[in-house]
Amino acid sequence: MVKVAIIGGGGHARVLSEIISQAPELSLTGCFDDSLERGAELWNGVKVLGSVNDLGKTTDEIDAYVIGIGNNSVRKKISGQHSDLNWISLVHPNAVVSPSAKIDAGSVVLAGAVVSANAVIGRQVIVNANVTVDHDSKIGSYVHLSIGSQVGSNSTIEESCLIGIGQIVPSFSTIVE
C-alpha cells in the first residue's frame, strides 16, 4: 500500500483524494496546507498534517506526494523547493491513457480525459476532466489543461501555460506562455 499525501486542501485536492480512494494500491494519509490549521478535518476524515514547510518531515508515514493546487506557478514553486520528494502521478479510473503515452512525475489525469498515442505529459501537469490530448502532442511541465479543452495532434504546449475551459488547440500548433 502506497501512503500518499496531498499538498493543498481545496477543491482540486478533494478531486485528487477521490482518485486516491478509488485506487486499491493507494491510501491517503492527509494534506499539507499553509492556510489551514494542523489537525483540522477537511472531508471524509482527511486531516491537515501541517504546512508546506513540514513536507518531508514525516517520511515514515508518507511514501509519495501529489500537489492538489491548480495554480501553475504555485505547483512549480512547491515542486522545485521539494524536488527530493517522491512525486506520484494519478490517473482517474475513467480516463483513457494510451500505453505509448508518457506521463511524468506529479501529473494528474482526471475523469473523462483522453491521452492518445505517443503523447508526452510533463511534470506536475493537470489534465483536467474531459480533456483530449491527441497523438504525438507534447505538454510541458506545470501546464493546466482546463476542463473540456482539446489539444490537436502534433501540438506543443510549452511550460506553465494555462489552457482555458473548452479551449481548442488546433493540430500542429505551438502555445507559449
* Domain 2-81 matches domain 89-177 at the CATH topology level: no
Residue 173: alpha-carbon gap to chain centroid = 23
pLDDT number for residue 19: 97
Question: Does 144 participate in catalysis according to the annotation?
Answer: no
Q: Which residues pair with 20 in a beta bridge?
A: none
Please state the rounded mean pLDDT for residues 29-38.
93
Q: Which residues pair with 48 in a beta bridge?
A: 31
The residue among 71 and 53 whose pLDDT is bigger is: 71
From the number of C-beta atoms within 10 Å of its C-beta (0-12, 13-18, 19+), residue 41 rates as exposed
Please state the rounded mean pLDDT for residues 50-64.
84
CATH class label, 89-177: mainly beta
Contact, 26 vs 2, CB < 8 A? yes
Q: Which residues pair with 108 in a beta bridge?
A: 90, 126
Q: Where are the domains of the chain?
A: 2-81, 89-177
Reported pTM: 0.96
The predicted-structure confidence for 136-167, as pLDDT tens digits, reads as follows 999 999 999 999 999 999 999 999 999 999 99
State the catalytic residue, choosing from 12, 82, 92, 135.
135
Task: Determine phi and psi for 11, rounding to 5 degrees.
Answer: -60, -45
Fold exhibited by the domain 2-81: Rossmann fold (3.40.50)
What is the Cα–Cα distance from 123 to 126, expressed in whole angstroms? 9
What sections of 40-174 are H helices per DSSP?
A: 72-81
Would the pLDDT of 58 be above 70? Answer: no
